[in-house]
A and B are shown apart, each in its own frame.
Chain A
Amino acid sequence: FEAKTSGSDDLKAIISAISTLVEEATFVATAEGITFRGMDPSHVALIDISWPNSAFEKYECDSDIKFGVRIDEFSKLIKRADKKDSIEISISEQNMLLVTVGKNKKYKMRLIESSATDTPLPKIPYDSKITLSSSRFDKILGDVQVVSDYLTIHTSDSKADFSGKGDSGEVVIDLEKDIDEIGEISSKEDSIGTYSLEYLNPVVKAVGTTAGQITCEFSSAKPLRIEFKVANIGRIHFYLAPRVES
Chain B
Amino acid sequence: KPKQTGLDEFFWN
Contacts and interface: CB of A to CB of B under 8 A. Distances in A.
Interface in B1-13: 2-12
Contacts, number: 43
A223 B2 contact: no
A42 interface: yes
A244 B6 contact: no
A243 B10 contact: no
B3 to A, nearest CB: 4
Interface stretch (A43-51, A77-85, A86-94, A201-209): A43-51
A244 B3 contact: yes
Contacts of A246: 2-3
Contacts of B8: 43
Interface in A199-220: none
A242 interface: yes
A75 interface: no
B7 A39 contact: yes
Contacts of A243: 2-5
A223 B13 CA distance: 14
Interface stretch (A27-35, A100-108, A117-125): A117-125
A196 B11 contact: no
Given A119-B12, A122-B12, A43 B7 contact: yes
A150 interface: yes
Contacts of B10: 124, 222-223, 241
Contact of B6 (A42, A121, A122, A150): A42
B2 to A, nearest CB: 4
Nearest to B6: A43
A44 B2 contact: no
A239 interface: yes
Contacts of A222: 10
A165 B2 CA distance: 11
12 contacts: A44-B4, A44-B7, A46-B7, A122-B11, A196-B4, A223-B10, A223-B11, A241-B10, A243-B4, A244-B3, A244-B5, A246-B3
Interface of B: 2-12
Closest 5 CB pairs of A and B: A243-B2, A246-B3, A43-B6, A241-B5, A241-B7
